[in-house]
Amino acid sequence: MGNGPSFKNPACRSRLAVIFTLGSMLLMLEAENISAQTAVAGNSGPICAGEPVMLYETGGDAVSWEWSSSGTALFNDRTLQSPTATGAVNGELFTVLITDAEGNNATANTIVTVFSDVPPRPEQITSSETQCGGSTGVIYSIIEMPDAAEYSWEVPEGVEITSGQGTVSITVDIGPLAPASGTVRVYAINPCGTSLPRSKNLTVIQMPLAAGPITGSSVFTPGTTGVPYSVDPVANATSYVWSFTSAGVTINGNGSSSVTLDFATDATAGQLSVRGQNDCGDGTASYLDLMSAAKTLTLSSVFLEGLYSGAGTMRQAWNETGPQYAPGVADHITVELHDANNYSIIIWSLPDVPLSISGTAEINIPAAHSGSYYITVRHRNSIETTTVLPVSFAGSLISYSFATPVNVYGGNLKTSADNYYLIYGGDATQDGLVNTGDYAPVVNDATRYTRGYIFTDLDGNGTVDTRDYSIIVNNATRNVRTVHP
């Protein structure tokens, strides 16, 4: 038979058998892939008993359909892709058989849910009736109800459902505009209808607003009792919290908008505060600084060179638009009490003391300071000036005059043209002496035409100019400096 393969050879026959077998398997797999079909069945339920249900098949490339049922439902046409069935009962199984143009088949099932009646009214809603304005993540919930397909919740305006609508549990935020009272409702729903609602009252408590000013004296006398203080009613507050920062003070009537204070003999200055309070928290507090007035120190003839206008009076210090302080106030000073044996120790200090245009300042001194002290007056651009000797504070009224050099340590006062004595000005840098170091910042501000209530305005007219130079030049020439113990 020539040189071709011999089919009588057992080895050749074996190899050919393997080839033919593999080829047949490939053809079978290809045929199966071509003929494979997938059916997908669904329905329009859930439905209420007695209502028709639409069936549909969407999976394959079918040319014919055949529907059947596990129950007694009636079809309008079993051979439609989407027939309608009536009389279905809950849990009834519908099956569809599809056939394509090649004669290939596939099946799919779908189960219909049928409700027989409207759901019962939901059980009680779980949550607190009282909520705080501004609260977030508040949960309202009920138990699952038989025959309910979903749930519908209603909340007042100003309350936002953030999640859970349609389910047995919702989460809400209580906004600042939520009403003081309202109602939360929930309904159970299925295709047969909507249940009666279940309701829960909602009472919203907003945080207390900020407290207004405290009414009462800012000055107290140690040893006095029953001193009244009050605040106007705070919106949303159900009680009030009063406190005092220092020892020796007893607050009577805490919790109300009006209290009385008892000041012990050793009571010291401090800050009185009050804030509104309710179950949701505390509002913003208001404050009143209280100072002991057991002793009154009156300083007189404190005339500042830069502001002196003659005849024992001073001008008011100006800013860029007018007087810096209230009518009759020339400027503010700082008053210090220094230890009689060691001047470097400051026993007590009070800044921002109003100094009148007549050179008078009145200061309330805590009762605890009953020894003898040097009194020092400081001003923003004047030379620090101190009493010639320690002054006794044993009494309740203390007076001291800076009218003459003999009353001032080192006689460190300047004589005015009309024979009044003035505290030297020109110490712009507050280093204790008047020299060229003070000249530089004044010149710089004058060059810039600087205006306002600033330390380089030595004559206090609201503008830094050449008139401020003369104060520095004259006092620097005299070697003016601070003199103290």
Please give the CATH topology (third level) of the domain spanning 295-477. Immunoglobulin-like (2.60.40)
Does 214-291 match 41-115 at the fold level?
yes
In this prediction, residue 257 carries a pLDDT of 97
In this prediction, residue 6 carries a pLDDT of 38
Average pLDDT, the chain: 90
**Lowest mean pLDDT, pick from 13-17, 33-37, 73-77:** 13-17
Spatial contact of 200 and 127, defined as CB atoms under 8 Å apart: yes
In this prediction, residue 74 carries a pLDDT of 96
The pTM of the whole model exceeds 0.85: no
In this prediction, residue 311 carries a pLDDT of 97
- CATH class of the domain defined by 130-205: mainly beta
Q: How many Cβ atoms from other residues are within 10 Å of residue 145's Cβ?
A: 20
Could you tell me how far CA 290 lies from the centroid of its own chain? 29
pLDDT tens, 42-73? Answer: 999 999 999 999 999 998 789 999 999 999 99
The rounded distance, in Å, linking the Cα atoms of 302 and 397 is 18
The rounded distance, in Å, linking the Cα atoms of 320 and 47 is 83
Residues 6+ apart with CB under 8 A from 144: 168
In this prediction, residue 123 carries a pLDDT of 95
Give the CATH number of domain 41-115. Answer: 2.60.40.10
The fourth-level CATH superfamily of domain 214-291 is Immunoglobulins (2.60.40.10)
Q: What is the mean pLDDT of residues 213-230?
A: 91
In this prediction, residue 294 carries a pLDDT of 66
- Give percent of the chain with pLDDT exceeding 90: 82
The domain limits of the chain are: 41-115, 130-205, 214-291, 295-477
Strands 239-244 and 270-278 come out as antiparallel
Q: What is the mean pLDDT of residues 86-109?
A: 94
pLDDT of residue 284 exceeding 70 = yes
